[in-house]
Structure formats: structure tokens, C-alpha cells
Structure 1
Amino acid sequence: MRFRPWWLLAMGLGCVSAHSHSEPSPVTAPARAGLPGQVLDAQGAPLPGTRITVIPRVPSWDVRSDAPVARVTAGAGGRLEVPSLPPGEYGLAGITPGGVFAVGETLKVEAGQPVKPIALRAERDSPGLLEGTVVDEAGAPLPGVALRIVRAGMPFDDVALLEASPEGRFQVRSAEGAHSVIASAPGFSTVMQRVPGRGEPVTVRLERAADASMSRAALAWMKQTGVPLKSVEAGQGLEDLAPLKPVLKDTRVVALGEATHGTREFFQLKHRMLEFLVTELGFTVFALEENFAEGLAFNDYVLDGRGDPARLLSGSAWNTEEVLALLHWMRRYNEDPAHPRKLKFYGVDMQFSPDAVARVKAYLAQVDAAQGTRAEEPLGWLALPRSGFSRLPVERQQEARVQLDALAGRFEAEKARYIRQSSAAQWAVARQCVRVLRQFVGKVLQEEEELRDRAMAENLLWALEHEGPGTRAVLWAHNGHVQRGPGEWREYAAGRHLADALGPSFYVFGMAFHRGEFLAFNMDPRPPPGRKGMVAFSVPPEPEDTLDAALAATGWPVFALDLRALPHTGPAYEWWRRSRRAHDIGFIYSDGGYPSLAQIHALRLYDGLLFVEHTTAARLNPR
């Protein structure tokens, strides 16, 4: 689940280790005392001139706007002193004189307690090159830009201030991982942009802020074009949604995003949109950000009534009253003899999946027992509990990859024989289970940075092909997965792959809200009583310069907006073509606060918007 990847791990590939040849003797650091340290290269030689950035390791600190707690430069002998740190935990990152992004261990400061001097050591590995140029809207380089380089980490990102040349160019080396650069300049909107680590220069374009006349024109256009909705709840009639029929009549896939993974009104509105698309436009596939194999059991229920949907949801991230109500509606729809074309359920995700392992084993036992015996061991590794496969030695993981590739080849070579002993549909589903297991192994081995999103798109396209010509699907996932263009943390989301494959027949609704509650996993290490696990959080109304506030200014509590209808010139277009901040919350949050806004370029990411002014938290099903 998720969009903004605070959960992405660098997997031990950082550029700096917090160890030197000999451990420095601890010093006692009273509250707000300076802390000594030293920066060394891989051979133990001092690195004078290294610029160190110190930031707090607290959820409320936002990499986009807040100043670092301290910035120091190593002097002679690579020695440095970080002044005036109050008690707390801090992240250390820096840029060496050779332009390497250097990251140290988390620094803990407690009043009156011994604190080891800061010791940073550059690694021997040659990191990748991250480079680019910051320009204005006309493409002219911008001198004097304030820059930060960010590497996604768990649970906090590593951040260092970065120097740009007078021509706005920047260059830094860093180990593998998801990197972004944040650029800001007076009179321009701050931009956060991905930087690939393959030596491909990027252009970071800063936009001047919109003026008041553009804002008024944008609001007038929304009031003229938007479709106010009377309710988020299904079963309330579909007359108010009728203006969306000509907008969506030629679509093959409609993606329904969400700005959080735990908002009741988002889930209810998606249910209502599904009802509309199925009954009015003939959609027959519902695809969820859920594992493929686990989704097959949901399909058994909605098609034939087999199984208990409440029990199936109990092991899912979607275990809410709203999703259970949607499943019950799908079952009732399929039970009605007036609906000869039945509604199917597909999962498109490819995370750890013991169900996929079990289905492949059972199928091989039916059609190729000898092959099933040979595949028993590698398939067993993939079903190890508690993410056991991810902790196996990399050689074992690579062996599983080889075995799965061989198994996929056998499925293709023996296709005719396998189908004779089962059916074409059974072969196709078992073959797809092998594919999603291979996708999972590729993700663990980090074969590519955004493999999960590509896999989700491929799995949905497989479902469309499997269901036959003319099949139309509704996709439910986070905004960050369905977006059709590059965003802050994803260059190629699943939506972008689908847009490449389907063209204009792919339509993306981003979902937005102004204020209210949502459900998320509390990432605080020591939550207070009653605040452990999935709990409700809330956010206040956001500032006037945000996209959410602009949508709320319409005065409509719930509405739909077709961004494809926006004129390509004029003041309203000038407002919409600029990026602005909007709520962007995933599966985790914190009682101590958490960055809840991201820079959103709505015209690049979405074809339309669904907006709810005031939200409440999704309701968990009883245990």
C-alpha cells in the first residue's frame, strides 16, 4: 500500500558508515551541548570540507520547508562540532568535497548522558551519479537556488543541503535508492523531483506562483464545469452522476485513486462510482490494490457466494465496513438474473503471497506431479512466514528466481498438455500465480526501482485479456499508484504504464479532501494506550495556496471535476498547469504529526478529480 515511500529501505547501501578504525571515547553531553565529530574516507584519511546537515528524526519534520537544526563544515583533520543540540534523535547527512552524499547513523542526545562523538566514514563502493539543472518556466538556468538532496528511508528520509553552481547545475554521488531533489527560489513554488541514479541529468523546472486573477478564473471554471454530487453513499440513485456518462463512455479502465488509505467517504464514493460504471456503462471487472492470488477467493464469493467475505477481509489491509459493504453489493448484483454478464473481482498486487504458492503447488500436483516435486523447495521458501523469504541469503533468493523462470518456461512448453489435464482457465490462473511470485522475487532482489507499479499494471492488463475483448475495468488504488504521470516519488506509477498501453481509454480520478479524519497505522514506537495499530487521525483545513483549499472554495461538499474539459489557454489554464500542495497520506501516520502534503501537478497526474470537503475515518470490521 502506499505512495510516498517513507517505507522504502536503502537495504544497507548508504554512502557512509558511522564507524572509524578506533572507537572514540564517549563524552558527556548536557542538554544543548556541542557534539564533536570527524569525517573520514574509506581508507581512514580525514575529509575536511565535508558539509554536514543535521535534522530531527521526528515525524512532523517536513523535508520540503523546515530549516535543518544545524549545518556544519568539517575543518582541519576532518573534525567538526555540532552546536547546541537539545535532547532528541537526529539524522546526519552530508556532502563530501568529492560530491558524495554521505549518511551516518541516527544520533541520540540525552541530557546528562554519554554521547559518542560523531564518526562518519565514506564507503569504498562507487555510488551513482545524480545530476541536473534548475531552470525557470522559460528554460533559463536559475542561479542561487536552495537545494536539498533526499534519499527515502525507513522510517525517516536522509536529507542534506546541496550546493548549486551559479548556472543552477547540481551534481552529487549517492548509493542506490530512491532519491529526490527539492529546489526553491524566491518568487517560485518549491518543487520536489525524482533524480534517477543512472547518470541521466534531470531538468527541475520552477514555476512562478499564480496571481489572484488566475485563482478567480480557476474557481469560476470549477463552478461552471464541476458536477456536484448529492451523496457519497451507494444506493442513492445515479441521476447526479449522469453528466459523467459522456466523459467516461469511451474508457476501457477507470482508475479511482485516494489521498489516504483509510477514509470512509473515499471508500463509499468508490462504491458508488463502481455501481454507476457497472450499471450504466457495462463495466464488469473490479480490480483492487490486493494480491492477485488472495483476490481469487474474493472472486469466488462475488461470483458464486463461496466463502465468508468478512473472514477473507480479516487478513487484508482493506478490513473495513465500507469494503465489506461493496463486496456484499457485488454479490447481490451477480445474484440478479437480470445481469447475465457477471461482475468479477481481481487483485493486481504482487506482495508476499502464500496463496499463490499454494495454488501453484495444487495445480502442479494435478497436471505434473514430478515437476511439482522439483519445485517444492523453492516454492516453500516463498511461503516462509513473517517475510522470511526477504531475510534469506541473497544466493537463495537468486536461486528461487532461477527456479521460477524455469517453472514459467515449463508452463509455456507444456501448455497444451497441462490444459488437457485441467482447463484453459485453470492453466491461465496458475500461470499468472507463477508470474506474480516472480514479480515478488524481483521486488525483493531490487531488480528495478519501481517494479511493483509496473507489475500492478501488467497484472491488470492480463485480467483484461483473460476476460476477453471489450472488457472494461474499475481500478481501486492509492493516488500515487494510479497517477498517469511522474510525481514526487514515482517516475513510473502503475497508472503511467496503463496510460502508455491504453492511451485515452484510460481515465484517472484522483481523490482529494480538505479536512477531517482518516484511518492509518500509528508508527509511533511507544504509542499511548488505545493508540496502537490502525487508529484514526485528523488534519485541519489546509492553507489557501493548496489544491485542497481551492477545491473547497467551490462550496460543494462533494463533487466531480473533469480536467480534460479545461481550456488549453487562458487564466484558468494558467492556474491549473501549475503544481501545488495537496493531501498525500498513505498507510502510516503518527500522533506526533507527519508530513501530510505533497506537491501535486493535477493536470499531469489525473484526468479528473473527486473531492470530499470533510471526511471521517474508515470503520474497521469487528475482530
Structure 2
Amino acid sequence: MRKLNMGRLQLVWVLLLSGWLFSCSSDNDSLDEREQEEGFLTKGVYPLEDVGDLDILINEIGNSQYVLIGEASHGTSEFYTWRANITKRLIQEKGFNLIAVEGDWPASYSLNQYIQGQTGGTAQQAVQAFQRWPTWMWANQEVATFSEWLRQHNQSLAQNQKVGFYGMDVYSLWESLEAVRSYMETADPAIAQLARNAQTCLQPYNQDEQLYAQATAQGTSCAQQMQTLLEAVQAYRSRQPANHEASFNAEQNALVALNAERYYTQMIRSSTGSWNVRDRHMQETVNRLVAHRGNGAKIIVWAHNTHVGDARYTDMANAGMVNIGQLIREQHEDKGVYLVGFGSYQGQVIAATMWGAATRVMNVPAAMNNSWEDILHRHSAEDKLLLMRELKDIPEALQRRGHRAIGVVYNPASEGGNYVPTVLPQRYDAFLFIDQTTALNPL
């Protein structure tokens, strides 16, 4: 792929955007101060041992239409497994029927077809649709196991009742253009030609986002071709039945192509600008999925904590950054929005030493002093579930503290920049803390 370190640059920007490493606590903190810090969690903390312990969380979610579930890394097995456990219960007990993930639309749509019984093979084969680095994010055993559960769950349901699995990321410029062209060759050859026009405009860059981004700085742009294509696909879809799945898929791919071009154009100009293009695209995709599903639509979002946890309660806000958790809360509060975060004290993680490098299992060191992860570990070295509404009247809980975020590129020896200053009870509605974690299982 591709030399442009999209995810890495954005996560580094989030973690270091203030221009200083967050000081969780100096090494000179006295023992008395640390003992005082760990003692303020007098309520709102519940055991987390098995899926039955999720009862209180499912009850808290209530009739919310939007549930966003985070992760503190893209390479921790427990985050994926517990996220799947929550999702299964929401599907079975609360009628959720849409899942949107931090993944490319074309690859996710391919997996969606397997999950809905439209293609054969195995779940392990189906997740191999995710070919963009870091492939382990979705091509892993944990996602394959959950995908097989979804397929079995959907088996006896009518098509309009099946749970869907979709991608909401913005990176798949070339793949999405090809998907539009391929579909329109038969559906509407004139639109297929517009897709080829856009591909021709991009051809000199050989599917290298960095080359295209650099060219835009010199005044080159394929934005108009993307806009023309999207408008034509939108017009085509308007002539189809409201629930026409193939035209919805084509329109979403055209939208991805347009916003991907905007994202890559912004990437070399403004980290804040490109971040906001990406998360606003995620928000738009969620809204489009809910509208397309129609009455009874209820959606679960899977993404990193940096996207799910409300940006207004981190130092992201100081840089003018928004994220999907904030945007969905602001737009749909009246319909019920519930944000779930994750964290861990130490363990192992799948990551890489640099963008595009080989996958490695890395040790995650003990959390920094006075970070949220450190405080939760000192409260008890056990897994736990926190309900944030119960912490909001505890002054110490409303202090801004470091909250660890691990990206796909990780250096355990340089932990200082991995902590996002966070007011935890306002950033999330619930928080799952896994004291000791293990690495994800890539396929």
C-alpha cells in the first residue's frame, strides 16, 4: 500500500496534538497521593467475568438506537471478543440489525454478503476480503468467529430482517471506483464511462495515495470527476425502488470515492482537516445505513476509542477535531446514543513497528502512573465494568487523566505519547476494563 501513513499519522496527531506528552503523574508522587487516587471509585464499578455480567450494561442501553463500541487498540483479542458479546446480546435482546465498522466499504460489503447467506465458503475465507494493511484488523479469527455466528443468526430470517455488516471508512478510493464501474457496465453504461473517466484521471498515480496527495498540492485534482460520478449515481438510484440494495451499494461506493479524494487532498495540508473528513464520512455512512434500513433500524458501531469516545472530553477538541461519537451524540441524542469504551492495564497486542511492516506480537507495559488504566488496576487487578452516570458526581472522577490509545504502529518503549487526556465519565457512557490482555489472532 502505499506509502501514505493514514491511520498512523492520524493516531499520532490525536495523541500528540497538544504539543506535549500528557503527564499522568510524576515519578515523585508520594505513596499517600497514589492511595488517595485509587480510593475515589466508591461506586459505579461492577465485576466483568462472563456474558451474564453484561446484564447491567444491556439494561443501561435501554431503547437507544445508536450504540458505539470502542477499543483501545486494533490488536487485542479481548476487545474484539467482548465487543462481539455485547453486539450479540443487543441483536438478540434489543433488535439491533446494523453493524458499521472502521473498515473499507467494499471489503466489508463482501463479508456482509457472506453473513447474509448470499455467498458460500467459510468465515475464514470471507474475512480475507480485507486486503488493505493492516489486514489483521478484520482478517482475524475473532471476526471470523463472530461472522459465522451472524450467518447462523440470519439463516432463518427474511432478507429484510437480516443483520447487516458494513464498512464506514474512507480509504478505498480505487476499490470503490472499480466497484461502481463494474456494476454500472450493465446497469447504466453512461455512468460506467464516468467511473472510467475518474479512473483515468487517477491513473498516473498508480494507486498510490501519497503521489496523488502530493500532486494536489501542485494544483492537480480529480475532485470534479468524483463529484460528477456521485451525482450521476444518485440520479440513477432515485429511479430505483427505495430499498434497492445494489444501487445503494453503488451510491455508497461513489460517496466513498468522493470523500476519499477529499481526505487524501487534506492529508498533506491539515491533520485536523483530514481527521474531520474521515469521521464526518463515518457519521454520514451511519446515517445513510439507518435511512436505507428504514423503520426499526438500530445500529452498532465498531471503531477505535479515538473515534467512539466523545472528542469534546479530550484535548482533541482544542485542535478543532471532531469524531463520530461526538457527532452522533450531537445529532441523535433524542433517539438514544450510548458510547462504550475499552482499556487495559498490560498484556500483549498485535501491531507493527512501522507503517506497512510485518505483524508482530508486542508486550504492552504496565500503564503509566495515575492514568485511568493505572487507577483501575490499583482499584483491583480484575476485569471490571464501569457505568459512567454513577461516577459523574465524584469530583476526582471528573478530572482529566491519561487514557491509553494504541495504534496499528506501536513502540512499547515509548509509551508517553500514547495517552489521550480524557474526562472518562463524560467521554463514554460505559467502560470495560480488561486488566491483562492477549494478542488478537490474525488469519
Match 1:310 to one of 113, 116, 124: 124
| Residue 441 (structure 2) pairs with residue 610 (structure 1) | no
Shift of 1:211: 6.2
Map Cα deviations across residues 316-337 of structure 1 (whole Å, 9 max, x no partner).
3322211111111111111245
For the 8 Å contact 1:253–1:473, the answer to whether it is kept is: yes
Aligned to 1:259: 72
Distance 1:619 1:183 in 2: 31
- DSSP 3-state at the match of 2:343: strand
| Residue 381 (structure 2) pairs with residue 551 (structure 1) | no
Aligned to 2:333: 503
Q: 1:580 to 1:517 in 2, by over 3 A?
A: same
Aligned to 1:229: 48
Aligned to 1:459: 285
Q: 1:299 to 1:252 in 2, by over 3 A?
A: same
For the 8 Å contact 2:68–2:302, the answer to whether it is kept is: yes
Distance 2:350 2:304 in 1: 14
Report the residue type matching 1:288 in the other structure. V
- DSSP 3-state at the match of 1:254: strand
Distance 2:392 2:423 in 1: 16
Shift of 1:593: 3.9
After superposition, the CA RMSD in angstroms is 3.4
Map Cα deviations across residues 226-281 of structure 1 (whole Å, 9 max, x no partner).
231223xxxxxx43222223210121111111111100111111111111111121
Normalising by the residue count of structure 2, what TM-score does the alignment of the two structures yield?
A: 0.82
Shift of 1:550: 1.6
Gaps of 5+ in 1: 10-150, 158-178, 191-209, 232-237, 526-531
Map Cα deviations across residues 89-138 of structure 1 (whole Å, 9 max, x no partner).
xxxxxxxxxxxxxxxxxxxxxxxxxxxxxxxxxxxxxxxxxxxxxxxxxx
Aligned length in residues: 412
Aligned to 2:350: 519
| Residue 318 (structure 2) pairs with residue 488 (structure 1) | no
Match 2:55 to one of 229, 242, 246: 242
Gaps of 5+ in 2: 26-31
Shift of 1:596: 3.4
**Within-5 A mapping of 1:86-101:** none
Report the residue type matching 2:74 in the other structure. H
Shift of 1:556: 5.8
- DSSP 3-state at the match of 1:581: strand
| Residue 10 (structure 2) pairs with residue 180 (structure 1) | no
For the 8 Å contact 2:8–2:355, the answer to whether it is kept is: no
Report the residue type matching 2:9 in the other structure. W
Distance 1:8 1:341 in 2: 36
Q: Which is richer in helix?
A: 2
Shift of 1:287: 1.4
For the 8 Å contact 2:48–2:383, the answer to whether it is kept is: yes
Q: Which is richer in strand?
A: 1
Distance 2:69 2:37 in 1: 27
Same amino acid, percent of matched pairs: 22
Report the residue type matching 2:255 in the other structure. R
- DSSP 3-state at the match of 1:361: helix
Distance 2:244 2:207 in 1: 32
- DSSP 3-state at the match of 1:304: coil
Report the residue type matching 2:46 in the other structure. V
Normalising by the residue count of structure 1, what TM-score does the alignment of the two structures yield?
A: 0.60
| Residue 403 (structure 2) pairs with residue 586 (structure 1) | no
Report the residue type matching 1:249 in the other structure. G
Q: 1:382 to 1:507 in 2, by over 3 A?
A: farther
Aligned to 2:263: 443
For the 8 Å contact 2:37–2:370, the answer to whether it is kept is: no
Shift of 1:534: 0.9
Q: 1:588 to 1:409 in 2, by over 3 A?
A: same
For the 8 Å contact 1:519–1:617, the answer to whether it is kept is: yes
Report the residue type matching 1:273 in the other structure. I
Distance 2:218 2:231 in 1: 20
Q: 1:548 to 1:443 in 2, by over 3 A?
A: same
For the 8 Å contact 1:283–1:472, the answer to whether it is kept is: yes
Distance 1:444 1:330 in 2: 34
Distance 1:340 1:451 in 2: 31
**Within-5 A mapping of 1:110-149:** none
Q: 1:592 to 1:524 in 2, by over 3 A?
A: farther
Q: 1:413 to 1:396 in 2, by over 3 A?
A: farther
Q: 1:588 to 1:543 in 2, by over 3 A?
A: closer
Distance 1:377 1:397 in 2: 19
Aligned to 1:410: 232
For the 8 Å contact 1:404–1:438, the answer to whether it is kept is: yes
For the 8 Å contact 1:511–1:609, the answer to whether it is kept is: yes
Distance 2:77 2:325 in 1: 23
